Amino acid sequence: MADHSIDGLVSRRDVLKRVGIAGAAAAVPIDAIAQATREQFETLTAAEGATLEAIVARLIPTDANGPGAIEARAARYIDRALGGFLGSFLAPYRAGLSGIETYARTVKGAPFTQLSAQDQDSVLTDMENNAAKGFPGASLFFNVVLSHTIQGTFCDPFYGGNANFVGWDLIGYPGVRLTATANDQRMDVAPAPTHMSAYDFSMFSRKKPNAR
Amino acid sequence: MPVNLKPTDVVVVGLGAAGGVAVLPLTQAGIEVIGLEAGTWLRTDDFAPDELRNNFRGWPQAVQKANREIPTHRTNRNATLSPRQTIHPMMNAVGGTTLHYWAQSWRLNPWDFKVVSETTRRYGASRIPKGSTIEDWPFGLDELEPYYDKVEFEIGVSGQAGNIKGKIDPRGNTFEGPRAREYPMPPLRGTSFTEMMADAARKLGWRPFPGPAAVATRAYQGRAGCAYHGYCARGGCHINAKGSTAVTTIPKAQATKRLSVVTEAHVTTIEVGANGRVSGVNYVKGGTEYFQPAKIVLVASYVYENVRLLLLSKSKAFPNGLSNNRGQVGRHYFSHNQIGGVTALFPKRLNNWYGLPAQGVAVDDWADDNFDHSGLDFIGGGNLWVYSDRRPISAAGMSTYGRAPRWGSAWKAFIKQNADSWNISYLQKTTLPYEDNFLDLDPTVKDPLGLPVCRITADYQENERRVSTFIQDKMVEWYKAAGAIATEKTGMGTMGPTTHAYGGTRMGDNPETNVVDKWGFSHEVPNLGILGASVMGTSGARNPTLTAQALAWRTADRLAKNWKNIAT
């Protein structure tokens, strides 16, 4: 079930260069970035979505350790939730995504989405440290996006993130089981990944929660 | 005008841990009971192992009555309100928070009932911290033992006894008071991680043991044994192994045909008659107001809601709130000193992905007065608890112990290696009641019905800070003995809304300092009983639920055996 090829394995050197990992190109399925930015966003505008995709790509990068937030579709998770459970965050997101573009132009002379990975990291670090002058609330916004990116990378795939279980595979979570044996709990055992959403089990598929 | 309903014998406000237990001895004694519950029935297929929904989106509390009346908090009388919590710590449902609690089901230790007299006897009266309003309970553990026993067998508690009628068994908690018999089921199984921790504790000369849990470890009274699949913290059980009152005492009471359960009933006030006795309760359901007359009212919601309901129920006889003519409602409030924990990083994978928070190993050597406090500057202590439980979002949200940044490739490499190599301990520590810590009604914040919410005014004091430091140091010592390569202490926070709240309607013989008598009935209103941890005057160093349940059974038993005296 861990079929990352769903998002394609075509090497795209331009995308790889942008995220600064060209050296790892052969090993990493990366077409998802381009794929993702071509799709319509549900809540954010295309420009906002592109900025968000660029941010999450740096928070949990695609690299030698495998797929990251892009392949997990973490930005898509956030976009969908901003039209649902995280609705109260929509206005702060709009302000923050606009704020990061303004700040990037001011200090780096180009839109955030077009910066090198190194410059993107420098902008994000300024935000994290609340050192982004003229960008009020940058640190708070950074922390919100980081926590939502983690949710979108490691949540149940039912919510649109952790696509193809890339987040769970990254940290070695063997997945949802309805029974765990004594052997499944031994320190010297690594149970095989189940690659199932909770809602793939028939008893829970009857009462699905709101996926937004 | 509300719709007047047919009178009943007893109306119970809240069918959670305490109310859900009390209905059983009452209905078995032939008493007609109506249970009013703000939530609904939830079933096994509601309990999907879904971390985002359960642990990050607060389901189902986020959509319930409780969440529309989350208490406000300030640290003291002069402080501004703390940022308001967004999710109520407890849930509304038939069974209440017993549906998604950890189910650790401890008896208090003997010392917890006699903190004042035992501290005075052993160390002198000056060791009771200044400003504390603590009292001995009106009875000792021996009085409560038969009720602990009844509840353990009804809801199905698994565990290992450490003291049966005075005979000590080192496999269990050797510090516990005498119990009449062994637990109805053996404890939850150990894992190689919990066994590694137990071995380390023994190396230190401590006495580790598996903790008690209201989780079946084999088929029990028609319910299945635990499947250890995880998602038990803030998640209900998909096979009913957890002994929630929703699947134990409540259906058993319904089988007598004397319990009528009314769901989605939002109780607003308790009515008082001309004789100064309570006559029933008002509630709203589906936009309609009802009055449910009853000979006896048992208030069995959570601590904050018990206090709030009394304070909202003003009448000619009780102008400052029901049973509050001596100003004791809301006093002697405290919440468990349980936040300050310790986490540890190990040099290997622990495979803690499965299991449940009640599946662990405890150390009680540093709890209560189980060790000599002569040279120390505090009283009480803490129970140390480690367990097997991990979920992916929170695993990835781990501390990096100063070894990696918070994001980027270096972070990703760190969590790839370590997300399953850390552990968090649960340290429950003694908390005392103080003059300055109390509950009342918030003067400005209201619920959607326009009724003021409960306001908490409370903060930890010196004794709690000293206990916390002492216990965290012990936990660091334990982790290091087990091979941890890094440890971190988490802050103890303040005393905002919590799952372990106590007091506000304290039980005691003296009506000047207590709201209910030793049986759980109001000193001022003879046909009003109060159930739950709001009657408890000490916390001990362990989860409150089983004690609240034993007390609820005892109050119900008292009522059933003295029905004519109390009800008329």
Q: Which structural domain, as residue segments, surrounds residue B564?
A: 1-107+236-335+433-459+499-568
B350 contact residues in A (CB cutoff 8 A): 187
Backbone φ, ψ for residue B440 (5° rounding): -150, -165
- Contact state of A61 with B353 under an 8 Å Cβ cutoff: no
A63 contact residues in B (CB cutoff 8 A): 409, 412
On whether any CB of chain B is under 8 Å from the CB of A171, the answer is yes
In this predicted structure, what is the pLDDT of residue B213? Answer: 98
> Dihedral angle at the C-alpha atoms of B88, B91, B92, B94, nearest 10 degrees?
-170
In this predicted structure, what is the pLDDT of residue B172? Answer: 98
> Dihedral angle at the C-alpha atoms of B170, B212, B112, B95, nearest 10 degrees?
-170
- Contact state of B412 with A189 under an 8 Å Cβ cutoff: no
B22 CB-near residues (< 8 Å, 6+ apart) = B12, B298, B300, B531, B552, B553, B555, B556
If one compares B568 and A36, the residue with the highest pLDDT of the two is B568
User: Within 13 Å of residue A144, how many CA atoms lie on the same side as its CB?
Assistant: 19
- Contact state of B395 with A206 under an 8 Å Cβ cutoff: no
Is B217 inside any structural domain? Answer: no
Question: Is residue B27 classed as helix, strand or coil in its secondary structure?
Answer: helix
Decide: B424 and B341 in contact? Cβ < 8 Å.
yes
User: In sequence order, what E strands does A11-119 have?
Assistant: none
CA-based nearest distance B219→chain A, Å? 15
- List the 6-65 stretch of A: residues with Cβ below 8 A of B: 58-61, 63-65
Is B214 inside any structural domain? Answer: no
CA-based nearest distance B390→chain A, Å? 9
Is B398 inside any structural domain? Answer: no
Give mean pLDDT, residues B186-197.
98
Decide: B332 and B534 in contact? Cβ < 8 Å.
no
| B282-292 pLDDT per residue, tens | 999 999 999 99
- Contact state of A65 with B416 under an 8 Å Cβ cutoff: yes
Is B95 inside any structural domain? Answer: yes
Give mean pLDDT, residues B476-491.
97
On whether any CB of chain A is under 8 Å from the CB of B483, the answer is no
CA distance B323 to B216: 39
pLDDT at B207 over 60: yes
- Contact state of B420 with A172 under an 8 Å Cβ cutoff: yes
The ipTM value here is 0.94
- Contact state of B45 with A150 under an 8 Å Cβ cutoff: no
Selected residue of B350, B412, B423 to mutate for chain A interface (largest A Cβ count, 10 A): B412
Q: What is the CATH number of the domain that holds B270?
A: 3.50.50.60
A130 contact residues in B (CB cutoff 8 A): none
B51 contact residues in A (CB cutoff 8 A): 155-156
CA distance A197 to B48: 10
- Contact state of B407 with A146 under an 8 Å Cβ cutoff: yes
Count of the separate structural domains present in chain B: 1
CA B356 from centre of chain = 17
| B144-182 pLDDT per residue, tens | 999 999 999 999 999 999 999 999 999 999 999 999 999
- List the 415-434 stretch of B: residues with Cβ below 8 A of A: 415-416, 419-420
Decide: B69 and B452 in contact? Cβ < 8 Å.
no
On whether any CB of chain A is under 8 Å from the CB of B238, the answer is yes
Give mean pLDDT, residues B399-415.
98
pLDDT at B568 over 50: yes
Gyration radius of chain B over CA positions = 23
In this predicted structure, what is the pLDDT of residue B516? Answer: 98
The two structure tokens encoding residue A47: 């420009």
Q: Which of B319, B318, B321 is nearest to B308 (CA)?
A: B321
On whether any CB of chain A is under 8 Å from the CB of B413, the answer is yes
CA-based nearest distance A144→chain B, Å? 13
Question: Is residue B196 classed as helix, strand or coil in its secondary structure?
Answer: helix
CA distance A121 to B408: 8
Backbone φ, ψ for residue B537 (5° rounding): -100, -10
Is B120 inside any structural domain? Answer: no
- List the 138-177 stretch of B: residues with Cβ below 8 A of A: none
Write down the mean pLDDT value for chain B: 97
- List the 113-142 stretch of A: residues with Cβ below 8 A of B: 121, 124, 128
pTM, 2 dp: 0.94
Backbone φ, ψ for residue B411 (5° rounding): -65, -45
Give mean pLDDT, residues B473-479.
98
- List the 86-115 stretch of A: residues with Cβ below 8 A of B: none
β partners of residue B522 = B516
Selected residue of B349, B393, B418 to mutate for chain A interface (largest A Cβ count, 10 A): B393
| CA angle (B102, B104, B105) in 5-degree steps | 140
Q: What sign has the CA pseudo-torsion B544, B270, B519, B17?
A: negative
B415 contact residues in A (CB cutoff 8 A): 170-171
| B370-406 pLDDT per residue, tens | 999 999 999 999 999 999 999 999 999 999 999 999 9
Residue of chain A with shortest Cα separation from B395: A171
Residue B61 pLDDT level (bands cut at 50, 70, 90): confident
Is B221 inside any structural domain? Answer: no
pLDDT at B112 over 50: yes
Residue of chain B with shortest Cα separation from A63: B409
**Segments of chain A scoring below 70 in pLDDT:** 1-37
In this predicted structure, what is the pLDDT of residue A5? Answer: 27
B164 CB-near residues (< 8 Å, 6+ apart) = B178, B179, B180, B181, B182
- Contact state of B412 with A124 under an 8 Å Cβ cutoff: no
In this predicted structure, what is the pLDDT of residue A27? Answer: 34
A77 contact residues in B (CB cutoff 8 A): none
Is B139 inside any structural domain? Answer: no
Is B198 inside any structural domain? Answer: no
CA B259 from centre of chain = 25
